[in-house]
Structure 1
Amino acid sequence: MNPDVAADLKDLAGTLDGIETVTDLPALRAEIADLSEQAGQPDLWNDTEAAQKVTSRLAHAQGELRRIEELHRRLEDLPVLYELAEEEGDESSLADADAERRKLREEIQSLEIRTLLSGEYDPREALMTIRAEAGGVDAADFAEMLMRMYLRWAERHGYPVDVYDTSYAEEAGIKSATFQVRAPFAYGTLSVEQGTHRLVRISPFDNQGRRQTSFAGVEVAPVVESSDHVDIDEKDLRVDVYRSSGPGGQGVNTTDSAVRLTHIPTGIVVSCQNERSQLQNKATAMAVLQAKLLERRRQEEQAKMDALKDTGSSWGNQMRSYVLHPYQMVKDLRTEHEVGNPGAVLDGEIDGFIEAAIRWRRTQTTGA
Structure 2
Amino acid sequence: MQPETATRIANLDSTLTTIEKVMDLGELTARSRELEQQAGDPSLWDDPAHAQAVTTELSGVQSRLKKVTSLRQRVDDLPVIYELAEEEGDDSLAEEELGALEEAVSSLEVQTMLSGEYDAREAVVNIRSGAGGVDAADWAEMLMRMYTRWAEKNGYKVDIYDVSYAEEAGIKSATFVVHGEYMYGQLSVEQGTHRLVRISPFDNQARRQTSFAEVEVLPVVEQTDHIDIPDADIRVDVYRSSGPGGQSVNTTDSAVRITHLPTGIVVTCQNEKSQIQNKASALRVLQSKLLERKRQEEKAELDALGAGGNASWGNQMRSYVLHPFKMVKDLRTNYEVGDPQKVLDGDIDGFLESGIRWRMAENK
TM-score, shorter chain, exceeding 0.5: yes
Distance 2:122 2:308 in 1: 30
1:241 equivalent in alignment to 2:241? no
Q: Which residue of structure 2 aligns with residue 31 of structure 1? A: 31
Q: Which residue of structure 2 aligns with residue 148 of structure 1? A: 145
1:263 equivalent in alignment to 2:260? yes
Native 8 Å contact 1:197 1:319 kept in 2: yes
> Residue type matched to 1:64 in 2?
R
- CA shift, 1:83, in A, is 2.4
> Residue type matched to 2:334 in 1?
E
Unaligned runs of 5+ in 1: none
- CA shift, 1:306, in A, is 3.9
Q: Secondary structure at the match of 2:177?
A: strand
Q: Which residue of structure 1 aligns with residue 343 of structure 2? A: 345
Q: More deviation in 65-74 or 251-260?
A: 251-260
Cα shift readout 1:242-264 (whole Å, capped 9, x = no counterpart):
1111169x995211111111112
Compute the TM-score of the two structures, normalised by the length of structure 2. Answer: 0.95
Cα shift readout 1:192-215 (whole Å, capped 9, x = no counterpart):
000000011111111111111110
> Residue type matched to 2:354 in 1?
A
1:14 equivalent in alignment to 2:11? no
1:280 equivalent in alignment to 2:280? no
Corresponding pairs, count: 362
Q: More deviation in 295-304 or 177-186?
A: 295-304
- CA shift, 1:2, in A, is 2.4
Write the mapping of 1:208-219 to structure 2, written as runs, cut at 5 A: 208-219=205-216
Q: Which residue of structure 2 aligns with residue 357 of structure 1? A: 355
Q: Which residue of structure 1 aligns with residue 316 of structure 2? A: 318
Write the mapping of 1:1-368 to structure 2, written as runs, cut at 5 A: 1-86=1-86, 88=87, 90-92=88-90, 94-246=91-243, 252-307=249-304, 308-309=306-307, 311-366=309-364
Q: Secondary structure at the match of 1:334?
A: coil
- CA shift, 1:265, in A, is 1.9
Unaligned runs of 5+ in 2: none
Cα shift readout 1:92-131 (whole Å, capped 9, x = no counterpart):
1x22211111111000000001111010000101011000
- CA shift, 1:52, in A, is 2.7
Distance 1:303 1:15 in 2: 36
Rate the CA distance shift 1:334–1:306 in 2: closer, same or farther, 3 A: farther
Cα shift readout 1:151-174 (whole Å, capped 9, x = no counterpart):
000001100111111111111111
> Residue type matched to 2:339 in 1?
N
Q: Secondary structure at the match of 1:146?
A: helix
Distance 1:351 1:168 in 2: 28
Native 8 Å contact 1:306 1:313 kept in 2: no
Distance 1:174 1:111 in 2: 35
Distance 2:301 2:97 in 1: 46
Distance 2:263 2:184 in 1: 22
Q: CA RMSD in A?
A: 1.7
Native 8 Å contact 1:252 1:276 kept in 2: no
- CA shift, 1:291, in A, is 0.5
- Give identity over the alignment, percent: 64
Q: Secondary structure at the match of 1:356?
A: helix
> Residue type matched to 1:111 in 2?
L
Q: More deviation in 299-308 or 163-172?
A: 299-308
Distance 1:73 1:82 in 2: 15
Native 8 Å contact 1:146 1:346 kept in 2: yes
Q: Secondary structure at the match of 1:167?
A: strand
Native 8 Å contact 2:242 2:248 kept in 1: no
Q: More deviation in 18-27 or 303-312?
A: 303-312
Distance 2:354 2:261 in 1: 38
- CA shift, 1:293, in A, is 0.8
Q: More deviation in 4-13 or 116-125?
A: 4-13
Q: More deviation in 287-296 or 307-316?
A: 307-316
Native 8 Å contact 1:201 1:213 kept in 2: yes
> Residue type matched to 1:3 in 2?
P
Q: Secondary structure at the match of 1:162?
A: strand
Rate the CA distance shift 1:312–1:28 in 2: closer, same or farther, 3 A: closer
> Residue type matched to 1:190 in 2?
L
